[in-house]
Amino acid sequence: MGPSPFIIIAIDGGAASGKSSSSKILADRFNLLHVDTGSFYRHITYELLRRKISPADHSAIIAALAEMKFATRLNGRSAEMLIGGQPAGDEIRGQHVNDHVSHYAALPEVRTTLLGYQRGQVAVARQHAFRGLVMEGRDIGSVIFPEANFRFFLHADPTERARRRENEGRQDSVAERDRLDSSRKTSPLHCPPGAVNIDSTFLSLDQVVGQMTTFIAAKLP
Ligand code: DC
């Protein structure tokens, strides 16, 4: 028997749909690099806001992105994006970034910049001897890794998702971000054909991860 194949798991879904919690557990369970692409969009948004560059100023956005030096370091099992050697701070989860991230994430320039960086996480996972990676976001199964071994799409009722954020003590414009993320022209949030759709509204985290694990384990050698 040869070495186990490198596996890629894509998890997409709206804000607070349970992507982060479930993908972290899968990363532990299957020895995978965990990649939260939302944190990448947040980090870039924070940087652009700090430089006071509006999403409407395309030439300034292009120039700023060209200047940013991206790298990755491990934080436990998770890939952490560095910009100019700096990790993101807690501010990327704050209200200011929540309010603006979908506007920057809709820009093709931002998405193209992140496309190569996100695909490059395969090399990071291999370099650190992970068995594969689990990447969460909005367009992972549709655009970044359409050929992923496993593609999941998580749904949950917006009221339930707003409640989850409140329980975490966080304010978030869940419904508004979903509206913007689903209606943008470039790589909108949608469930790609062939992905496994899970409605987590009435499921516990254990149940969601249980469904995913059963599906994955059944197909692994
Ligand atoms: O997963 P999150 O809520 O932290 O993501 C923050 C924002 O980043 C989300 O509102 C839209 C954007 N995003 C995206 O457009 N594509 C991804 N693959 C991940 C996030």
Q: Which residues in 147-176 are b (16+ Cβ under 10 Å) and which e?
A: ebebbbbbbbebeebbebbeeeeeebbbee
Hey, which of 43, 101, 140 would you mutate to test ligand 1's pocket, going by the most ligand atoms within 8 Å of its Cβ? 101
**Is 13 contained in some domain?**
yes
Label residue 2 by pLDDT band (50, 70, 90).
low
The share of the chain scoring above pLDDT 70, in percent, equals: 99
Q: Give the closest residue (by CA) to ligand 1 atom 2.
A: 38
Query: Where are the strands (E) in 32-149, listed by range?
Result: 32-36, 70-75, 78-83, 86-87, 132-137
Q: What is the pTM of this model?
A: 0.95
CA distances 137 to 9, 98, 116, 191, Å, are: 11, 15, 15, 12
Q: Identity (one letter) of the amino acid at 29?
A: R
CATH code at position 164: 3.40.50.300
What's the confidence (pLDDT) of residue 220? 87
CA dihedral sign, ordered 103, 106, 112, 117: positive
Give the model's pLDDT for residue 166.
86
Give the residues surrounding ligand 1 with Cβ less than 6 Å away: 15, 37-38, 41-42, 101-102, 105, 137-140, 177, 181
Q: Report long-range pairs for 204-211 (Cβ below 8 Å, ≥24 apart).
A: 205/18, 205/21, 205/22, 205/25, 208/18, 208/22, 208/154, 209/22, 209/25, 209/26, 209/29
Mean pLDDT, the chain, integer: 94
Q: Is residue 3 part of a domain?
A: no
Instruction: Return d(Cα 180, Cα 32) in angstroms, integer.
Output: 30
User: Quick one: pLDDT at residue 117?
Assistant: 98
Q: Is residue 56 part of a domain?
A: yes
Distance between CA 217 and CA 196 in Å, rounded? 14
Q: Which two tokens stand for residue 42?
A: 């947040």
Q: How confident is the model at residue 171 (pLDDT cuts 50, 70, 90)?
A: confident
Residue nearest to atom 4 of ligand 1 (CA): 38
What is d(CA 167, CA 153) in angstroms, rounded to the nearest whole number?
A: 23
Domain assignment present for residue 221? The answer is no
Of 14, 62, 16, 10, give the one whose Cα is nearest residue 161. Answer: 16
Q: Is residue 173 part of a domain?
A: yes
Domain that includes residue 196, residue range: 8-215
pLDDT value at position 158? 87
Residue 94 lies in a domain: yes
Number of domains in the chain: 1
pLDDT in tens, 9-58: 999 999 889 999 999 999 999 999 999 999 999 999 999 999 999 999 99
pLDDT in tens, 137-166: 999 999 999 999 999 999 889 888 888 888
Asked if residue 33 belongs to a domain, the reply is yes
Q: How many CA atoms lie within 13 A of 58 on its CB side?
A: 4
In this structure, the residue with its CA closest to atom 16 of ligand 1 is: 138
The proportion of the chain whose per-residue pLDDT surpasses 90, expressed as a percent, equals 84
Residue 120 in any domain: the answer is: yes
| Predicted pLDDT of residue 1 | 57
